[in-house]
Amino acid sequence: MLTTSSHEKNRKPGDNSKQAHLLCSFTVSEIKQWRTRKLVVGKISAALIQTEQKENQSIIQADMKSITRNEIHGHISDFAEMKSLTSLNMSGNLFKDSVIGVFQGQLEVIDLSKNQLQGHISQVQFISTYKWSSLVYLDLSENQLSGEIFLNLSQADNLRHLNLAYNRFARQKFPRIETLLGLEYLNLSKTNLIGHIPGEILQMSNLHALDVSSKQLTGHIPSPAHRSLKTLDVSHNNLSGEIPVSLLEKLPGMERYNFSYNNLTLCDSRLSLETLETAFYGSLNSCPIAANPVLFKRRANRHRGYTLALALTLSMVCLLAGLLFLAFGCRRKSRTWVVKQSSYKEGQNISGPFSFQTDSTTWVADVKQATSVPVVIFEKPLLNITFADLLSATSSFDRDTLLAEGKFGPVYRGFLPGGIHVAVKVLVHGSTLTDQEAARELEYLGRIKHPNLVPLTGYCLAGDQRIALYDYMENGNLQNLLHDLPLGVQATEDWSTDTWEENNNVTQNVGSQAWTFRHKIALGTARALAFLHHGCSPSIIHRDVKASSVYLDLNLEPRLSDFGLAKIFGTALEDEIARGTPGYVPPEFSQLECDAPTPKSDVYCFGVVLFELITGKKPIGDDYPEEQEANLVSWVRGLVRKNQGLKAIDPKIHDTGPVYQMAEALKIGYLCTADLPTKRPSMQQIVGLLKDIEPRATR
């Protein structure tokens, strides 16, 4: 029954080659041997199941009911043929078909979570043979199910555990499940629910855990009637009004709760500082104690002498710090801010003008009890991830997992539990802020979402280190794609050839797509900056726009990174940020009266990136025809002034689109790089100008 290669026939237990080639299907006895090792890869066929059922029913009962976290595929409904099966756990595999056929026989436990199941789940209601009263445990979370949550749930009067989170259900009101009086666990997060939370839900006497986070729920939070509730997550909704007093009184006895990112009103000084800063963060209508709990931290009166001494000590420290700050400011003002435009070092994969040769072993060793240091994941607040998981994901921040080193610190690559692929940025100068201040800034940045920004996934405060977690960008950054690839090496996108595909990361001969693609990068980056400048309140100045801060995601869309980080560092990187990156420094930065970057500073830097896209040249260090000791900006601006801008166009894209569009783009870059900031357009205006010359292929 087992079809294998000759290599498979000679395989011995414990040989990891099992995961490489399993060509057709395998027997239940094979599964018994391999299921606990998480190495099974292959397909289970219906004929196999039927045959094995006749041959050895006991093996089926003991071993076919739980084969989790492998790479099994096939038809999940085939398991319904095993009529005597009462428990089926096939979570964490690769099943892609419908779940309809699973609801057969007398199954009591169904766990098909973390697969790729699809289809309209509402069709399950037409199955009349299944005894819903037998169902005790149902987990279909983290799939791709659609439609409306099935109506038959009201018949599952013995159901204890229900998890439908992270699916693609249609927008719908809260399902009618209040009749499930025995329900103990309910997770409907990320399921597109709208409307109110029914009051009957929190009246269910056996309900221990309720998660309805990350949806579009409105209205008030109902009052719970029983003390059985131990876990409650209503974060990332649009709930409003006051939190019921009866619920607030139950919080001390609960294990976990999260009310963050709503419009709730909270005025209860009995809650601890830690509770206010974590469970109620981002509630827009909170009274001052929740909006800024640090200012309302109570101090005990029994040690007034100690408090007075501490206050005097802090006052002296602040006074000394102020004097040092004034001395430093005077020294800074007396200095001439002329930046030497040193050339790039060829072949280095860095994201800034200098590199931190950081030895992580020192600060990692300073973090005690790594398993007790939490990692905050914004979209999955109940996911239990700690600093120990970060250490495991990055091999203790080993250089083998290092992606880049830049101005803000080293960046590592890692996979967190739950399959979360992240770029881990260690903010080496972030310790100037307190934990509360750093958490507040990072939480704020986590709420900033735009299709052309690299989203902040989460963060970790480990000792003195502030660690930012970003979505991993599969296709690298613009610096690598344009400049840093060695000759003869083709990455995911190589503009030295005619092969490129804008979708699915598969190369194809598109020829004329080169200019279209570069224009898309320019427009997407401009939209990101326009959003930061004009769509955020207060506006955010990036301060370090450059080719290496523009990334390409899995769908090859440009995404700008490192926005908002400058504020986290306070004065720790003030000089470096003000000096800018060589090749991208606005002229006003060399003036004594220049105090801080402005939105027009970002506009100048964007103009340099636009010149890079059109010319294919580096900001500094390249050879510029007919000019010596020039940089990209002075060379291109000189050609545009002479009405010879066409000479600057990259030969690789010259014939891949309308030349007049490229010439107009050069003029836009010319406006962006004007010497006087007042002469530069805003990013909103730049978006409009780029859209006016948008190639038809991208419209």
292-334 pLDDT tens trace: 343 333 333 334 444 455 566 666 666 676 666 555 554 443 3
Residues 206 and 142 in one domain: yes
The identity of residue 72, as a single letter, is I
- Cα separation, 629 vs 613, in Å, equals 21
- Asked whether residue 22 is domain-assigned, the answer is no
Eight-class DSSP state of 163: E
CATH assignment of the domain containing 617: 1.10.510.10
What does the block give as tokens for 522? 């320019």
Residues 529 and 448 in one domain: no
- With a cut of 70, say whether residue 153 has pLDDT above it: yes
Residues 378 and 466 in one domain: yes
For 514, half-sphere exposure in the C-beta direction (CA atoms, 13 angstrom radius) is 27
More confident residue, 166 or 39: 166
**What backbone torsions phi and psi does residue 603 show, to the nearest 5 degrees?**
-60, -45
- Asked whether residue 9 is domain-assigned, the answer is no
Residues 247 and 222 in one domain: yes
- Asked whether residue 361 is domain-assigned, the answer is yes
242, 266, 290 — which closes off a domain? 266
Least confident of 19-23, 109-113, 434-438: 19-23
**Would you state the pLDDT for residue 87?**
83
- Asked whether residue 102 is domain-assigned, the answer is yes
**Would you state the pLDDT for residue 532?**
94
Residues 448 and 482 in one domain: no
CATH assignment of the domain containing 140: 3.80.10.10
- Cα separation, 151 vs 135, in Å, equals 14
- How many Å separate Cα 561 from the centre of its chain? 12
- Cα separation, 7 vs 4, in Å, equals 8
- Asked whether residue 307 is domain-assigned, the answer is no
**What backbone torsions phi and psi does residue 638 show, to the nearest 5 degrees?**
-65, -40
Average pLDDT of span 190-206: 87
More confident residue, 577 or 440: 440
**Would you state the pLDDT for residue 682?**
95
- Asked whether residue 433 is domain-assigned, the answer is yes
- Asked whether residue 394 is domain-assigned, the answer is yes
What is the value of pTM for the model shown?
0.50
Contacts 24+ apart (CB under 8 A), 480-489: 480/349, 480/548, 481/552, 482/547, 482/612, 482/613, 482/616, 482/618, 483/344, 483/547, 483/612, 483/618, 484/347, 484/348, 484/349, 486/347
Residues 685 and 577 in one domain: yes
Catalytic residue among 544, 562, 602, 650: 544
- Cα separation, 500 vs 492, in Å, equals 8
More confident residue, 685 or 334: 685
439, 474, 509 — which closes off a domain? 474
474, 490, 524 — which closes off a domain? 474
Total of domains in the chain: 3
Cβ burial of 491 (10 Å; 0-12, 13-18, 19+) is exposed
**Structural domain that includes position 360:** 352-474
Residues 571 and 516 in one domain: yes
Active site residue 544: yes
Average pLDDT of span 138-151: 82
pLDDT tens digits for 97-116? 777 667 777 788 888 888 88
**Would you state the pLDDT for residue 116?**
80
Residues 165 and 179 in one domain: yes
- Asked whether residue 23 is domain-assigned, the answer is no
Residues 652 and 530 in one domain: yes
pLDDT band at residue 21 using 50, 70 and 90 as cut-offs: very low
Residues 440 and 368 in one domain: yes
Residues 433 and 568 in one domain: no
- Per the prediction, the chain carries an average pLDDT of 73
**What backbone torsions phi and psi does residue 326 show, to the nearest 5 degrees?**
-65, -40
Strand order in the sheet with 465-471: 375-377, 456-462, 465-471, 420-427, 410-416, 402-405
- How many Å separate Cα 692 from the centre of its chain? 32
